[in-house]
Amino acid sequence: MTVQINRRSLLTVLAAAGGGLTLGFGPVARALAAGTTDAKLNTYVTVHADGSVTIMAQNPEIGQGVKTSIPQLVAEELDVDWSAVTIEQAIADTAVYGRQVAGGSMATTLQYDPLRRMGATARAMLVTAAATRWGVPAGECTTASGTVLHAASGRKLGYGDVAADAAKLPLPDPATIALKDPANFTIIGQPMTGVDNYKLVTGQPLFGIDAKVPGMVYAAYEKCPVFGGTIKSADLTKAKAIKGVIDVFVIPGSGDPAVTGLSEGVAIIADSWWTANRARAALAIVWNEGPRAGASSTAIAAQAAAFAKQAPQQSIVSTLDTDKALVGAAKRVDAVYSYPYLAHAPMEPMNCTARVAGGKVEIWAPTQNPEPGRAQVAKALGVPPADITIHMMRCGGGFGRRLGNDYMVEAATISARAGKPVKLIWSREQDIQQSFYRPGGFHNLSGGLDASGKLIAWRNHFVSYGSDGKFARSAQIAPGLFPDGFVENIAIGASLMPTPLETGPLRAPVSNAFGFVMQSFLDELALAAKIDPLAFRQQLLGSARIVGDTSNGHTGLDTGRTRAVLDAAAKAAGWGRALAPRSGLGIAFYFSHRGYFASVAEVTVAEDGAVTVVKVWVAGDVGRQIVNPSGANNQIVGSTLDAINATLNQQITVANGRVVQRNFDDYPLLRMPDAPPVVVEMVASDNPPTGLGEPAYPPVPPAITNAIFAATGVRVRSLPVDTALLKKA
């Protein structure tokens, strides 16, 4: 689809203080996505009189490197030296900056072309200003390193020298502005150090937890350990008596906490967070725990097993001959796969600083998605959204958790009641036990092969979470997911059961679990067909073509791109080479978030069942251009290590309606000695550049579990890996 963008929807020019040039950039990415031709504008880039440039980073920075890579797009086409650029974090204001979300790996996808064009248009205006001063045609001028050059006369002017003149020019037609040939890129495609790295390693305040406001007090907030619970009675006397405690009070709930962001609880404000958190233990609260109080992981598994024996409650994909094809198959494989709830567990726990005074609200929050938080705070406090200012602080990890803003609503509500600026910090235990979670799931699979080993039938009865026929957040299965479109006879159905925990997106939502299931079962089918796992996948993919609708970035498949990353990963790992006893290689691929990735894992399994991931090879295709190779490598390696840890170590279980795990002793993070080398190879394809924060994750768990089978002959069908099953007999 071609979208026409008029001049006004691209940028506006305003005179800046000190004779500089400020270029306003509207939500062009959003306009492009919506197919519109008009958008409200905002200030985005400033060219200062001294020639330096300030670029506003409009999206939240959660460690994915977007504060560096997205400004690279502007700086490249503006034709300035990266050393002359300063990056500033924008406040949350979608009316000014457009979409401000860190999620879905969408920043590069949406902003690659619009921000390049904005930088190029700015460069053209500066060239016109210089050419006018010299009295020469603009076409005779070139630019380099923040300077306009006229080769014929040997003259040159720095951008700062002509910025004020450029501010007075009419806007050029964007259609007349040429973008750089990628062969001439000097910033895009170069490995750039993160713009915050120096501040990070020197301990300068960047994160939400670092925020300080004059007159600020500290807060802790105690909520029911069972989701949806309310206060039956509360004795606050002992907590109030603790030295340093300023006040203790009950905050009533307001509707569904999953919607409002506010659960009923008791707030403690004190002169230090240590005191406020310590006072939580002195609270005497009797909870009305509600209907979820009796839930347990054991009961959930039993209910899932009971559903598996029944017909699915709803059909997702169905052909008429699947049952017949399975009955008539030369070989049939049946298996049940499952995976648990997962918590995000970012290193920086949930926190927020809020100041409510004079009908205005100011918030300092490490959030991935500030606008829903603004709406929730506005409703909770009864203030207009326009009277709420949100400073987007750097996030110490997010992985999807900070797409929710409950901690923001809590902090603002406590500040309004206390009449003081408040910094709320969750304890680590709260961060793990009162989050929202990657939902678990149960897949009851059957596959049929003909006499030649071809996959001719596939059935999946997926038992997941939800109610009234609607899936819980991030628990859904959709038509078009592989292998839909690759098997003639396919039936996918689903049955839903209530969830005791709140659910939501975690890095590569849905795909992070389905990758394990689908790619592990493919290995089982390859074994039954007596075909090498790589060859079996290549056979199933067939010739290069697009199967299904790939436009949403998750369903369908470009088989040519998939085969290319499979071949690259296999070649890099030396697929098929001989290994020592109880060592193995496993391979898997997945398409999600518009990225095509394949992984090969090498593992060794000790006689006591302990699994060591020796090395992982990753091949990925995210289009024709990597904006920042350093940041890209960081994201791919980070996704891989994240997936390794979840595969081997992590699960959230429920007993008496409560999350059992509390801290990093029973919900561990991967330690540095256990982090294997990760070899990354990017496969370029002639497709638009897309994001990297999530798509490398899904093929890693099945690559590991397939390697475990190759090493031991034991098929892992449930996560995390149970090492007791792998002990040498």
Per-residue pLDDT of 119-155, as tens digits, reads 898 899 899 999 999 999 999 999 999 999 999 999 9
Angle between helices 66-78 and 107-134 (to 10 degrees): 30
Task: Give domain status of residue 109, yes or no.
Answer: yes
Q: Please report the pLDDT score of residue 22 as a whole number.
A: 59
Selection from 117, 119, 216, 208 nearest residue 159 by Cα = 119
Please tell me the total count of domains within the chain.
Answer: 3
Stretches in the chain below the pLDDT threshold 70: 1-43
Establish whether the linkage from the previous residue to 385 is cis, with ω within 30° of 0.
no
Report yes or no on 500 lying in a domain: yes
In the listed set 390, 425, 460, which residue is the last one of a domain according to the structure? 425
As to burial, measured by CB atoms within 10 angstroms (0-12 exposed, 13-18 middle, 19+ buried), residue 685 is middle
Shared domain for 229 and 145, answered yes or no, is no
* Beta strand ranges found along 381-420 (DSSP E): 388-392
Task: Report the alpha-carbon angle 195-189-594, nearest 5.
Answer: 95
DSSP 477: -
> Which of 79, 70, 87, 66 is closest to 121 using CA atoms?
79
pLDDT at 169: 83
> How much is the mean pLDDT over the chain?
93
CA nearest to 112, candidates 4, 188, 12: 188
Examine the domain organization and report whether 133 and 254 are in the same domain.
no
Asked whether residue 704 is assigned to any structural domain, the reply reads yes
Write down the pTM of the prediction: 0.94
Residues 27 and 629: their CA atoms lie apart, in Å, by 26
Domain presence at residue 431: no
The verdict on 258 and 331 lying in the same domain is: no
Asked whether residue 421 falls in the same domain as residue 365, the answer is yes
The whole domain housing 149 covers 7-201
Residues 379 and 448 in one domain: no
Together in a domain, 130 and 188? yes
Q: What is the pLDDT of residue 21?
A: 61
Q: Which long-range contacts (CB under 8 A, 24 or more apart) does 377-384 make?
A: 377/261, 377/405, 377/408, 377/409, 377/412, 379/260, 380/254, 380/260, 380/261, 380/262, 380/409, 380/412, 380/413, 381/356, 381/412, 381/413, 381/416, 383/359
Residue 2 domain-assigned (yes or no): no
CATH code, 392? 3.30.365.10
> At CB < 8 A and 24+ separation, what contacts does 530-535 make?
530/453, 531/453, 532/576, 533/586, 533/587, 533/706, 534/566, 534/570, 534/575, 534/576, 534/587
Together in a domain, 252 and 125 = no
pLDDT value at residue 557: 97
Same-domain pairing of 338 and 370? no
Task: Answer yes or no: is 95 within a domain.
Answer: yes
Q: Are residues 238 and 378 in the same domain?
A: yes
Q: Which of 201, 219, 243 marks a domain boundary?
A: 201
**Can you give the pLDDT at residue 39?**
18
Would you state the structure tokens that stand for residue 107, as one six-digit string?
């920043």
Residues 651 and 576 both lie in one domain: yes
Query: 314 and 271 in one domain?
Result: no
The answer as to whether 619 is a domain residue is yes
Residue 12 and residue 51 in one domain:
yes
- Per-residue tokens: 14: 């305003």
Could you tell me if residue 519 is inside a domain?
Answer: yes
Last residue of a domain, one of 201, 225, 252: 201
